[in-house]
Amino acid sequence: MPSGDSPAGGFRASDHETLESFRLRPAEWTKLTARVASSEMPPPGAPAPSLDERESFLTWAEKNWREQACAADIAPAHSLLRRLNRDEYAATIRDLFDLQIDVSEQLPIDGAGGEGFDNAAETLFLSPLHSEKYLEVAKFVLDAAGKEFKSRQKIFVAHPGPDMTEKQAARTILKEFLPRAFRRPVDQPTVESYIEQFALARENGQDFEPAILFALRSALLSPRFLFHVEPEAGDLVTRQYAIASRLSYFLWGGMPDELLFDTAAAGKLEDPEVLAKLVPRMLRNPRSLTFAERFVEQWLRTRELSRGKAPDAELFPIYYQDEELRSDIQLQPVFFFREVFANNLPLTTFLDSEQTILTATLVKHFGLDRIEDAKSKDPRWVTLPAGSNRGGLLGMPAVLAVSSHPYRTSPVLRGAWVLDSILGAPPPPPPPDVPPLEENGAGAAPKSVRARLEQHRQNAVCASCHDRIDPIGFALENYDVIGAWRDQDGGAPIDAGGKLADGTNVDGPAGLKKALLARRQDFLRNLTKRMLGYAVGRGLTPADACTVETIVERVEEADASAWTLIREIVVSDPFRFTSREPEARP
């Protein structure tokens, strides 16, 4: 691929002719592969590779990245300073004050970065708007906490009296509060700086309790509260608390509990065996439901259902008339995910399973009235009857709705969703000049979506991509937009058969699930990448490729154990160490 003496894009092919260039020039390879994957390279007008050639190149590049990263023992990528995202902030406020209010709606929405999650450091900057909102929310929180009995008990652990001056009581309160708020030990000068805030408020005429709350408000505006703990090189104490926070915000979405703080204080969080033993405890804790909700809704994109991408109200009125059904549809994959991880089930359960999460409303929606033990409003883990087509993620209405148009199903959207969310191989975006799919016109004989797509595929520009996408989506056509089973579309019987790009014939959901299970390693690698990116709070880089592959191998050796995935992530170098603490690495 010649590039001339002065390549316009700054990329010179001759600089990348050796495999070592993956290690020596990772940023350039990252940019190159991203542009090839999105069909931005080569530029318009230049001879373009076929889809097969493009995917072959990307597979080759990823393979060489892994080999070079492992051979060179490259250190983990730099961890950027990262503030709490709005959900983490709200959870920390709740845990810190035992205050059952959700302040997340008062803060700006955080954008997705990295592996597609809103806890990625590259998007969590501190804007003037954030600063303004943090000031407002801190005042609101302290006003509420000052009136709430449980919150007052957490705050006012000392009171001035005959045996204690006001400053002594304030110092006792702050020495208790600040280490929890900052999630690490606090030195005496720091405590004294907040004593001065308290004293200033008293001098301005505030009573003891409002003056304490004024000092606490200052603490809530500190970077030590607003940002994740990241130790300086050689700071062995803070690193223990950093690991405690990484664990809690990963698996609970909020601040550490007393056991994690105590384990950090004992200096035991450097021990991989201790970390591995903490995993089951944390995944079985009710707080892990927050982890399930945040990870699942972003991984599967089902969060979009509550942010504008919902089924059409006129065509699917039951979705809006039955509030319980709507809630159960959105929460089913969350509870399913939590069941898999709380009970150490195989990760392949996401692809197909004999059990699922059901409620009375979902049983009715699925037409599974024979399941007696699921006739409850509460979500339950239930064994499905043979041939139900509801095992795994692909039979869940939330997944099927988010991968449809609001007004009809879309084999293209569903196929692309499976390629991206399940296999980690998203198709390139369509060319800008591709005509839209012809819709059924008024008065004309209706055509099924499949029939209209067959006509669309006659365009040679469209056919190569659709050959990879459409057969996956066709296999799911028996599900309507909100996941109800149907046998006809456009007045004709649904044809759910097709041939995948690798030549595998599939017919309906059962055939597709079987084909996906045959590609379990692709699924496990994709899930590992996303989970690791979520855990470390940043986008993955080529330096992480060896870690990903090692985790996948160990998960495979453990029969795709859910706990193995989490354990291997929390004992990995990217999770435990950052480039700010190089001498800590063995």
pLDDT tens digits, one per residue of 127-136: 999 999 999 9
pLDDT of 585: 40
The pLDDT of residue 61 is above 80? no
Per-residue pLDDT tens over the stretch 161-176: 999 999 999 999 999 9
Report pLDDT for 466.
81
Q: b/e map of 32-68 (b: 16 or more CB within 10 Å)? A: bbeebbebebeeeeeeeeebeebbeeeeebbebbbbb
**Do residues 346 and 561 touch, judged by C-beta distance below 8 A?**
yes
Evaluate if residue 529 carries a pLDDT over 60.
yes
CB atoms within 10 A of CB 446: 12
Q: How far apart are CA 101 and CA 117, in angstroms?
A: 24
* Window from 61-65, 305-309, 477-481 with minimum mean pLDDT: 61-65
pLDDT at 2: 43
**Amino acid, single-letter form, for residue 116:** G
The pLDDT of 421-446, averaged and rounded, is 69
Prior bond of 42 cis (ω within 30°): yes
Residue 431 per-residue DSSP state: P
| CB neighbours of residue 314 within 10 Å | 9
- The DSSP result for 225-238, as a single string, is HHB---PPTT-HHH
Pairwise CA distance, residues 490 & 451, whole Å: 9
**Any idea of the CA torsion for 546, 548, 549, 553, to the nearest 10 degrees?**
140
What pLDDT score does 36 carry? Answer: 73
pTM of the model: 0.89
Q: Is the pLDDT of residue 449 over 50?
A: yes
Q: Are 178 and 191 in contact (CB under 8 A)?
A: yes
pLDDT > 70? residue 552: yes
Which residues, at least 6 apart from 162, have a Cβ–Cβ distance to it below 8 Å?
none
Q: How far, in Å, CA of 152 to CA of 225, rounded?
A: 20
Tokens of 370: 């024979």
Beta-carbon contacts of 96 under 8 Å, excluding residues fewer than 6 positions away, are 154, 180, 181, 255
pLDDT of residue 4: 47
At 586 the pLDDT is: 37
- Report which residue type is found at 459: N
Whether the per-residue pLDDT at 535 is higher than 50: the answer is yes
pLDDT at 1 over 50: no
CA distance 65 to 278: 32
- Alpha-carbon distance of 330 to 221, in angstroms, equals 34
For residue 454, the model assigns a pLDDT of 72
Tens digits of per-residue pLDDT, 460-484? 666 777 888 999 999 999 999 999 9
pLDDT confidence of residue 311: 96
pLDDT in tens, 71-115: 666 666 666 789 999 999 999 999 999 999 999 999 999 999 878
Q: Is the pLDDT of residue 63 over 90?
A: no
Q: Please tell me the predicted confidence (pLDDT) of residue 213.
A: 98
% of the chain at pLDDT higher than 70: 83
Tell me the CA end-to-end span of the chain in Å, nearest whole number.
41
Q: Which of 116-125, 288-297, 431-440 has the highest mean pLDDT?
A: 288-297
The pLDDT value given to residue 427: 85
386: exposed, middle or buried (Cβ count in 10 Å: 0-12, 13-18, 19+): exposed
Whether 479 and 494 have beta carbons less than 8 Å apart is answered as no
Residue 383, φ and ψ in degrees, nearest 5: -80, 130
Query: Is 44 a residue whose pLDDT tops 70?
Result: no
173: Cβ contacts below 8 Å, ≥ 6 apart: 155, 156, 157, 158, 212
Q: pLDDT value at position 439?
A: 63
Please report the pLDDT score of residue 235 as a whole number: 85
Mean pLDDT in the chain?
88
**Cα–Cα nearest to 358, from 343, 339, 344:** 339
Q: For 358, phi and psi rounded to 5 degrees?
A: -135, 155
- Give pLDDT, residue 53: 76
User: What pLDDT, on the 0 to 100 scale, is given for residue 234?
Assistant: 76
User: Across residues 297-325, what is the average pLDDT?
Assistant: 94
pLDDT single digits (tens) 6-19: 555 555 655 556 66
Own/partner pairs, 442-449, CB within 8 angstroms, 24+ separation: 445/491, 446/490, 446/491, 447/490, 448/489, 448/490, 448/491, 448/492, 448/494, 449/408, 449/409, 449/410, 449/411, 449/477, 449/489, 449/490
Q: Which pLDDT score is estimated for 236?
A: 85
d(Cα 125, Cα 131) in Å, to the nearest integer? 11
User: 20-29, 262-271, 326-335, 409-418: which range is least confident on average?
Assistant: 20-29
Higher pLDDT, 209 or 67: 209
